[in-house]
Amino acid sequence: MSTAAPTAKRRTRDTWTSQTGFLLAAIGSAIGLGNIWRFPGVAYTNGGGAFLVPYLVALLFAGIPILWLEYAVGHKFRGTPPWAFRRMSVKGEFLGWFCVFICFVIITYYAAVVAWSSSYVVYSINEAWGNDSKTFFLSSFLGTVGSDEFSWTPVLAVSVPLLLVWVCTLLIVSFGVSKGVEKANKVFLPLLVVLFLALVVRALFLPGALEGLNAFFTPNWSALTDSKVWIEAFAQIFFSLSVGFGIMLTYASYLKKNSNVTGTALVAGFANSSFEILAGIGVFSALGFMAHTQGVAVSDLQGLRGPILSFVTFPKIISMMPGGPLFGVLFFSSLVLAGITSLLSLLQVVSGALQDKFAMQPIKASLVMGIPATVISLALFGTRSGLNTLDIVDNFINNVGVVGCAVAMTLFTALVRPRLAGLRKHLNSVSAPAIPPVWDFLVGIVIPAVLAFMLISSLITSLREGYDEYATYLVTIFGWGSVAFALIASAILTLVPWSHPQRTSTTPTDQEMA
Ligand code: PFF
């Protein structure tokens, strides 16, 4: 079968203009809200300083190996997940779309958190939360309803900035990889590092900072015998590095043919973890200050993780410190920047997949993905039950969707030609350091086994206990529903015929590999 109509204009695939551009984008994707609001609390409650042991093991033996796997598939098969996996085997396309729809679901709520953060940049200026940051966040700002209710009532303070986040990020993605995503990361990531460093230095000089750091780093070695701690470490690495559901695969597909892929992955992996530890230092210095001011121990503090850490505990700290408004602006601007660079990577997966399958231009792909995504995002997360829905969707899409996708991806690449040995050969032929053969064993057997264990245990807990105190119908609709949505949408998109003039045959042509 001919793969290109003679009259069809042959469009070359967009590429990063430089290796540094790619590296910045990859780091920008990895450093996200998870680094700032998830890592410090997870590390603290899972052994403190001792958590670094399972964390580093997870980074070296799972995070970096999967990063290499995604880079290998993306770079060798030059496509977003549906096209790259389809080129390995026609049956792989479904898995590719599953990656895409997981990204789609995550985008719809991740954008909402970026929107909250941008509102809080403004609220910081006059400490709008007054002396009750919890009531302000839950009632005055979000108007949150009970955990057994759903509401369509929009919250203007959320939907307006949310719309703005959508317009900005879609605009960036519509410029394509080199002119949009790469340029934005070149500005946003260095800016984030500078702002965040300023914030950490300020936090370190607060009275009580040392007590916070002591609480954070003091190792509780007995935690190492607890399997839950090890699972938390693996989950943190997966979430934080953005691996296992095709983001890094997509970014690597825009690399030039001769690129040092393995070395770049190492730099990206370590840069992400360094930022995470820096965030732990900043957050716990600030928490130490809060405990010191209130005359309590750090171990007595509550709300050390997730939205509550950022939007309830931090505002409280900001109100207590001299120069609080500036600190607040720095903190929430960091969340906005970290969030946007991650959001761009998630959007690029969806946009790129539409471009691959339907030969759309980036502008059209942005609209086709952006309109439904914006509507869903506003309807589910810009309303009074937004916080609850977000919590449920986030839990299920990560613990079931992302982990399930990662298991499928490792098994698929281990079983389908060119198999892991072939992918490793590909990476070693273009980059240094060379990957040792033990990688095949890690990615093909150890990692899927660990991940399958994680998946099964979270499935059992969710089936038995539901999730948190939320009503069963909400958990069913939004939790299981979001995973079901991703599966059904993937099946539909797999069945739709390809309409890209150069992508109708799955046999790689020399031109495509060039
Ligand atoms: N790695 C990013 C973060 O830590 O926030 C991006 C990300 C990963 C966002 C996974 C959402 C997600 F579910």
CA neighbor of 381 nearest in space, from 60, 86, 108, 130? 108
pLDDT tens for 383-398 read 999 999 999 999 999 9
Compute the distance between CA of residue 94 and CA of residue 491 in angstroms, rounded to an integer.
6
Q: Contact, 172 vs 178, CB < 8 A? A: no
Cα 389 to middle of ligand 1, angstroms: 17
Cis peptide before 433 (omega within 30 of 0): yes
Residue 341, ligand 1, Cβ within 6 A: no
pLDDT tens for 159-173 read 999 999 999 999 999
Please tell me the predicted confidence (pLDDT) of residue 504.
Answer: 67
In angstroms, the Cα distances linking 482 to 101, 298, 352 are 9, 37, 22
Indicate whether 505 pLDDT > 80: no
Cα 8 to middle of ligand 1, angstroms: 38
Confidence of residue 508 (pLDDT cuts 50, 70, 90): low
Compute the distance between CA of residue 401 and CA of residue 345 in angstroms, rounded to an integer.
18
Residue 239, ligand 1, Cβ within 6 A: yes
Q: Contact, 67 vs 262, CB < 8 A? A: no
Residue 306, ligand 1, Cβ within 6 A: no
Q: Angle CA(107)–CA(235)–CA(145) in degrees, nearest 5?
A: 50
Indicate whether 9 pLDDT > 70: no
> Of 27, 29, 31, 33, which is best to mutate to test ligand 1, by the most ligand atoms within 8 angstroms of its C-beta?
33
Residue 236, ligand 1, Cβ within 6 A: no
CA neighbor of 239 nearest in space, from 178, 290, 306? 306
Share of the chain above pLDDT 90, in %: 92
In angstroms, the Cα distances linking 504 to 2, 20, 87, 100, 413 are 8, 33, 10, 19, 22
Mean pLDDT (whole number) for 177-197: 98
How far does Cα 108 stand from its chain's mean position? 12
Confidence of residue 11 (pLDDT cuts 50, 70, 90): low
Q: Contact, 462 vs 396, CB < 8 A? A: yes
**Mean pLDDT, the chain, integer:** 94
Residue 37, ligand 1, Cβ within 6 A: no
Confidence of residue 144 (pLDDT cuts 50, 70, 90): very high
pLDDT tens for 92-102 read 999 999 999 99
Ramachandran quadrant class, 43 (left: phi over 0; alpha: psi -120 to 50; beta: rest):
alpha
Share of the chain above pLDDT 70, in %: 96
> Of 101, 196, 238, 239, which is best to mutate to test ligand 1, by the most ligand atoms within 8 angstroms of its C-beta?
239
Compute the distance between CA of residue 440 and CA of residue 227 in angstroms, rounded to an integer.
25
Confidence of residue 14 (pLDDT cuts 50, 70, 90): very high
Cα 353 to middle of ligand 1, angstroms: 19
Indicate whether 513 pLDDT > 80: no
Tokens at 381, concatenated: 């997360």
Residues in the chain: 514
Please tell me the predicted confidence (pLDDT) of residue 324.
Answer: 97
CA neighbor of 373 nearest in space, from 406, 343, 396, 338? 343
CA neighbor of 511 nearest in space, from 89, 429, 14, 502? 502
Compute the distance between CA of residue 112 and CA of residue 166 in angstroms, rounded to an integer.
9
In angstroms, the Cα distances linking 511 to 63, 137, 502, 507 are 32, 55, 10, 11
Cα 32 to middle of ligand 1, angstroms: 6
Compute the distance between CA of residue 72 and CA of residue 416 in angstroms, rounded to an integer.
14
Q: Residue with structure tokens 């900035």?
A: 161
Please tell me the predicted confidence (pLDDT) of residue 177.
Answer: 98
Please tell me the predicted confidence (pLDDT) of residue 503.
Answer: 81
Closest ligand 1 atom to the C-alpha of 398? 13
Cα 346 to middle of ligand 1, angstroms: 9
Indicate whether 482 pLDDT > 90: yes
Gap between the terminal Cα atoms of the chain: 20
Compute the distance between CA of residue 457 and CA of residue 451 in angstroms, rounded to an integer.
10
Please tell me the predicted confidence (pLDDT) of residue 510.
Answer: 46
- For 405, which DSSP code? H
Indicate whether 308 pLDDT > 80: yes
Compute the distance between CA of residue 81 and CA of residue 354 in angstroms, rounded to an integer.
11
Please tell me the predicted confidence (pLDDT) of residue 80.
Answer: 98
pLDDT tens for 219-274 read 999 999 999 999 899 989 998 999 999 999 999 999 999 899 999 999 999 999 99
Q: Whose CA is nearest to atom 2 of ligand 1?
A: 32
Count Cβ atoms below 10 Å from residue 393 Cβ, excluding itself: 24
Cα 77 to middle of ligand 1, angstroms: 24
**Where in 321-427 does DSSP place strands (E)?**
none
Tokens at 140, concatenated: 């005055």
Mean pLDDT (whole number) for 399-428: 96
Please tell me the predicted confidence (pLDDT) of residue 46.
Answer: 95
Tokens at 224, concatenated: 């190492």
pLDDT tens for 35-70 read 999 999 999 999 999 999 999 999 999 999 999 999
Compute the distance between CA of residue 514 and CA of residue 2 in angstroms, rounded to an integer.
18
> Of 100, 251, 342, 394, which is best to mutate to test ligand 1, by the most ligand atoms within 8 angstroms of its C-beta?
342
Residue 106, ligand 1, Cβ within 6 A: yes
Please tell me the predicted confidence (pLDDT) of residue 172.
Answer: 98
Tell the burial category of 191 from Cβ atoms under 10 Å away from its Cβ (0-12, 13-18, 19+).
middle
How far does Cα 478 stand from its chain's mean position? 19
Cα 252 to middle of ligand 1, angstroms: 17
Cα 30 to middle of ligand 1, angstroms: 7
Confidence of residue 506 (pLDDT cuts 50, 70, 90): low
Mean pLDDT (whole number) for 342-349: 98
Cα 470 to middle of ligand 1, angstroms: 23
Q: Whose CA is nearest to atom 7 of ligand 1?
A: 242
Closest ligand 1 atom to the C-alpha of 241? 1
Q: Whose CA is nearest to atom 12 of ligand 1?
A: 239
* Side chain identity at residue 49, one-letter code: G
* Side chain identity at residue 394, one-letter code: D
> Of 106, 188, 335, which is best to mutate to test ligand 1, by the most ligand atoms within 8 angstroms of its C-beta?
106
Cα 506 to middle of ligand 1, angstroms: 31
Count Cβ atoms below 10 Å from residue 445 Cβ, excluding itself: 13
Compute the distance between CA of residue 420 and CA of residue 411 in angstroms, rounded to an integer.
10
* Residues in a beta bridge with 6: none
Cα 231 to middle of ligand 1, angstroms: 17
Cα 273 to middle of ligand 1, angstroms: 13
Residue 345, ligand 1, Cβ within 6 A: no
Please tell me the predicted confidence (pLDDT) of residue 5.
Answer: 43
Cα 473 to middle of ligand 1, angstroms: 27
CATH topology of domain 21-495: Amino acid/polyamine transporter I (1.20.1740)
